[in-house]
Amino acid sequence: MTSDLDKQLVSSTVSVQFSSFESALHGVMCFEVAVGTQPGGEDVLPFTLANIVHIEQPDIVCHGLASSGCVQVNLPLEPSKTYFSTVRGVTNVGNVLETSSDGFTVDQTPSTIYIDSTVLVTWLGKPDIISVWAENSVGLVSKARTGTVVIDKTAPKAGTVWCPAFIQASVPLVCTWTGFVDTELPIREFRIMMGHSKGDNSMFSGSVVPGYIQTFTIDGVGEKMERRAKYYVTVTAVNSVDMTKNAFSEAIGVDLTPPQKGMVVDLTSVYRIDVTTLWL
């Protein structure tokens, strides 16, 4: 017996198998087993004859015991500590045949898994998750997984922006939008600005609202607008990886004058004309 299992999970039992203990001249009279913290040691279990089971075999030398057997004993073992089993056979003339195992350790701690490399992705718009299971030699399993990573290489789809065609100078400008869609990642925010052309921010430099908002009010902008000038509102959708898509309103103007008054004519009588009876 020169080798054994290097690790075991159980901390209360030691099992030993041995073979090839032979004395061609005298035969083996008895076997003893011990367990210690060093080869040949017996500080955990002193040498004992108890519980040894011999394997039957024919033609035993000098009417001695079989050269092979096994034993199992209950012992208080400590995790992460190395122990050595020692078996010795005593011949009929008192000679000792002794050998020790190469040591075993009680392992009750799962392996530690470290994921320290970048996740290589394969699917656009789908979560990429790597799960790792590690099983050690005694059957203890550790699990680890990476965080969810979604790869998005496409910008959101543009929606429609609606603003009134005209506003009064003293009335706030209220605009709404709809139809912005990103099929891979959520729209994180919307950016709003206003200027003399699409994409211009000379009238309103910009504001940011969360991605679930679909309306915005620009206060005081009517006082800056000029009569007969055209203005445009730009709404920019921004997804979770900062990809953007713009949409623009139709032209917006300011109305600074009331309608011109008309003329009301009172008729002294009511005339009814039947056009079907008229001839040219």
Domains of the chain: 7-106 (2.60.40), 109-151 (no CATH), 160-255 (2.60.40.10)
Q: Is the dihedral of CA 158, 162, 165, 167 positive or negative?
A: negative
Q: What is the pTM of this model?
A: 0.47
C-alpha closest to that of 256 among 232, 218, 222, 221: 222
pLDDT at 4 over 70: no
Confidence category of residue 153, pLDDT binned at 50, 70, 90:
confident
Confidence band of 118 (pLDDT split at 50, 70, 90): low
Q: What is the pLDDT at residue 232?
A: 97
- pLDDT at position 6 is 82
- The residues that bridge with 86 in the sheet, in sequence order, are 34, 100
Q: What is the mean pLDDT of the chain?
A: 83
Average pLDDT rounded to a whole number, residues 85-89: 90
The predicted structure's pLDDT at residue 97: 84
Residue with tokens 């099929």: 183
Which of the given ranges, 11-25, 41-55, 108-122, 168-182, has the highest pLDDT on average?
168-182
Of 101-115, 127-141, 251-265, the poorest mean pLDDT is in 127-141
Strands 149-150 and 127-128, sheet pairing: antiparallel
For residue 220, is pLDDT > 70? Answer: yes
What span, in angstroms and rounded, lies between the C-alpha atoms of 147 and 151? 13
